[in-house]
Structure 1
Amino acid sequence: MQKVVYITGGTKGIGKGVAKALLDNGYKVAVSGRNIEAVKEAIKDLGHGDNILAVQSDVRNYSDEESAVAQIVEKFGRLDIVIANAGVGIFSSVEDMSLEDWNTMIDTNLTGVFHTLKASVKQLKQNKGYYISIASLAGINFFANGSGYNASKFGVVGFTQAAMLDLRNADVKVTTILPGSVSTNFNNHEPSDADHWKIQPEDMGQMVVDILAMNPRVLPSKIEVRPTKVN
């Protein structure tokens, strides 16, 4: 039986890298994003024919996530694994940060993670599934100009760890991954050869594949991952 995975924010970077690794390892995958054209372009690039589904969803809206889950179940008949990856970063001092920027990060990075789990938890319990949130080392290490981003990612770590305790006895495994520097388009960065020292999206994909392959009795509840060296 092919297991079915839902990845939020899967059009590029970590999300797309994880989607590719899972598709290559025999999973069926649904990828979502706010812009459906970008999602369709991503799944065209990923290939794998009928084993992949494009879904439009803004994780800030709970109804979008409910609809996404319904579309996935309609297409594939089930949902086994959910990876909450959608996120944004806007960096400035507390004095300069706008209310809009603060709300965008909290609503996307933290409330969105809750929406994704809330909308999928019945399927995960039914199928003894797995929920993974992509947090950040910024969820345990604060830095100047990072108050909004730090707040959202500290929240993701706390939320996911508490959800792990809520769901472990229902046979739902929950993990949060805290990556350091990853070569992606995050914060308007353009990946290049100069990023060779960073974690690559395919490295994150392999990590998720390895986590999902662990014995059911093993629960890696929080994983910190860094580049081997700093440039």
Structure 2
Amino acid sequence: MSERRFDGKVVVVTGGGSGIGAATVARFGREGATVVSVGRTAEKLKRAAAEAPAGSAVVPRVADVADESSITALIADVAEAYGRLDVLVNNAATAVPGTVEHLDAAAWRQVFATDIDGVFFASKAALPQLRRARGCIVNVGSVSGLGADWGLAAYNSAKGALVNLTNAMALDHGGEGVRVNAVHPSLTRTSVAEPIFQSEAVLDAFRQRIPMQRAAEPAEVADVIAFLASSDARFVNGAHIPVDGGLSASSGQPRMF
């Protein structure tokens, strides 16, 4: 790719050590951005940074988005070091399986602390810098926030909350020059989803539901994130883009003909 849409831009990607986050770091790095890759595990961040395209400016930084002081300090450090912040990608997330009956309060809070509190903390800290740069936020949601799954009550609830948080921020900050959008992947080939790929029966069930009959690759989600962050999407605000191979196009009924 010869186009470098993010030359001179500074991008923060949370959950940048693996999966969609690492692919997003690589995509912005390839297009000329200085990318601050944020996560809780230094080794994962360093490994992902080393795998970014040659010449990429990737800066691994350890911080926990669920800890307001941690992520606020990191955003302040980025602003001081580079004098600007153009894009925040809220990608960090976690999931704990269970129904409402079987989840305990600690598991519920664990999911919300990362998946919603983390987005709130990072966005709140970044907004003054994004306003000055007329930058943007891209939230990484999930098709599990657009509809529910069996046995994922906490994750479904958190990702559902992310949908309307995205809407609220788009309304509140779009007039200030800060666009806020979200992508919503379905099954994606990441280490977190690895148990699914070890079960041919489960994979076959996904193939029956996804019209393109396969999982997404992390880079395919990262491509859409980069689009939303670019000037190509300069009048896109409050959008929710499913990156799901057509899964959400279905009524949910089984194939009949």
The answer as to whether partners of 1:161 and 1:222 remain within 8 angstroms in 2 is no
Task: Give the secondary structure class of the aligned counterpart of 2:89.
Answer: strand
CA shift for structure 1 position 46:
1.9
Residue in structure 2 matched with residue 122 of structure 1 by the alignment: 128
**2:17 equivalent in structure 1:** 11
Task: Give the SS at the match of 1:214.
Answer: helix
Q: Which amino acid aligns with 1:108?
A: T
TM-score (norm 2): 0.82
- 2:132 and 2:79 map into 1 onto residues whose CA distance is 12
- Give structure 1 regions of 4+ aligned residues with deviation exceeding 6 angstroms: none
Q: Match of 2:126, as an amino acid? A: S
Name the Cα RMSD after superposition. Answer: 2.2
Choose between structure 1 and 2 for higher RCO, CA contacts under 8 A separated by at least 6 residues.
1
Task: Report how many aligned residue pairs link the two structures.
Answer: 229
Corresponding residue for 2:181?
Answer: 175
Spell out, residue by residue over 1:63-102, the C-alpha distance to the aligned partner (whole angstroms, 9 max, x if none): 1111111222233221100000000011112222122211
2:87 is aligned with 1:81 = yes
The residue correspondences of 1:78-157 to structure 2 (distance < 5 A) are: 78-157=84-163
Residue 161, structure 1, aligned to residue 167, structure 2: yes
Mapped partners of 2:152, 2:236: distance in 1: 34
Higher mean Cα deviation, 207-216 or 176-185?
Answer: 207-216
Distance 1:167 1:70 in 2: 20
| Partner Cα separation in structure 1 for residue 25 and residue 152 of structure 2 | 28
Identity of aligned residues (%): 25
**91-100 vs 148-157, which moves further:** 91-100
Unaligned runs of 5+ residues in structure 1 are none
Contact 1:88 1:186 in 2 (8 A): no
User: What amino acid maps onto 1:204 in structure 2?
Assistant: V
Q: Aligned-pair distance for 1:52?
A: 1.4
Moved more, 95-104 or 145-154: 95-104
Q: Which structure's CA Rg is the greater one?
A: 2
1:201 paired residue number: 218
